[in-house]
Structure 1
């Protein structure tokens, strides 16, 4: 760890800033602001960060920084100190490293009120200290600064010296839902009983506990719980009651049809010496092949029922800007996507508000699970380059609906 810290410290070289007139001036501190920036970092990255702080507070830059080693109040919890420091600072700088993601970021996410206040009121400035870091989903929308960029110091100083009210067009902006998460795939949900593999007639069962990523977004947890209960309604008992009968009937019909058909074919085309061999080996093989195909049909039947339940859930979840899709019987995918623009398109198309709402709800019911699956996997089964939708850099729901209606 010391070698890594020494290497990071060696990377920090105080840059020349040119003449005084070329340097951006620190923004004025007003109201409850006591600092220009609160810097959150892992203790493992302290040497590098301390050199950065020394430079920011030097006469060259003239910024007032706040950080835990100096400004946290003894006797208060870490979260209380972080809350106070963020509220007293104009911006929040995050020194991103693997150690930070494992420790400090987890603390920041643990207190949702702090996290939302941080995103809604304070611009975040992520600084990437190491390559190949798994950047938290909540920061994926922000353009981070690379510490190894030759222009890193000038870019950082420009951001920190820009007043907050002038940063609305910047890539480093406060939280403004839904633009922050719009089109983002969230953490998929795995079934509780999916570890050992399921039989063809079994359906996945999912925990009703709200995942951490969704908890920071949802305003009404009951909608999520109801959605999972609806998915779990395609339970083992229900699936077996329907599929076992269908499996038995398919197998019986398949076996009889293959047997009678093969006997006729044998009598017409084959010598009698081959009939015993065919009856003993080939016919059972064909019968079991038919049973296997029937098992695949049962698997598709269960997935189809899960998709129907996901569509029913999405009618409610869409109000939370969440859509659910089925990756398989054992995995659900979630995407955060705003459908406001698509809903307006339905209103313009059908004009009558009641009819437009009915058609939009029907589209959610039938097509939203497939859309969520394609959006989560960033792959659509048709070319979307010729059309423009309501989702920047992605395919919006009404684009998907139009293509599905054209193709199907």
Structure 2
């Protein structure tokens, strides 16, 4: 089964907790704080594995949760960092944030890595909070929460050569004739619904990857038929091979077929118009094919045309040798065609000072919204007196108390920050 879309959830590891501890040695009566920091939580990292060809694994595992860091220890011992979680993906995988649509990465080369969720830092032990005023703080931080997000994965087939053409023109038969791939072949439209890949080995020892891409119809660039499902895979091919039925078995017109396909490719992305292409004039073993080939060459004298028959293997050697030679002359790396990326559109971002927090009222409850303050809540141990005082001091210093008063908060009103609810006290 070929799967080229997947939606998954990732949760990086939380940081380990810092601890409260003091030196307890026989001849050190006032040993001071000795609580160690927690370790860093694990990142979730996508790594390209060239042995994978589909996103099928993500159909069965949609949730990835990385391990948390180890808690700090006594005698100022830091907790161990968690080992990063490696998730393998096939080459050609595009990654986007499902919520915002932000483009995160385009993974094309074997071994390429992309951190999709960062682990939280470890909480600080009480040693880190010692001051001249408070030499033995009775508080420590909890670990920072790891990032979590929903991701959209999309696979665009990476192939040296892509076979394009209308349904039932013989693309699958051609692929089976030149490779060991065994695509489903039939005499009806849309036999091939998903890309099929095969490796071609020429007589002189050269090899390349060829893809049989699903047939398209007129209006594909607007999403008709397989539409964009087909066209996005063409973007990844270095050479386009038009497979044309010269015998006009289904009443097709070879000249018109080529014109329509070229229009669909260019309408989808103008960059495809500059992609090298050749024409495989297929089904030359059938009657009327010679007449169709003559008309085609008169209509497009500038094109490089190879008369072939996928069924009888006629002319295949010449076609494959030419494709191998073209690939030898081309750069090894084809720059991916990716829409809406920062690199392509050359967007410039400037840092804008975000609102530190916002306050909204629901009845007698005031809700303070701030990513930073919500993280502070999660990292504060409210069972520790010193930690509570530190939390109150931070809210006051950042102007939260004054802002609540301006919004009408009075003694006894409920204040919510994240999952924490407490009473407003003057």
Between Structure 1 and Structure 2, the one with more helix by share is: 1
Normalised to the residue count of structure 2, the TM-score between the two structures is 0.18
Structure with higher Rg: it is 2
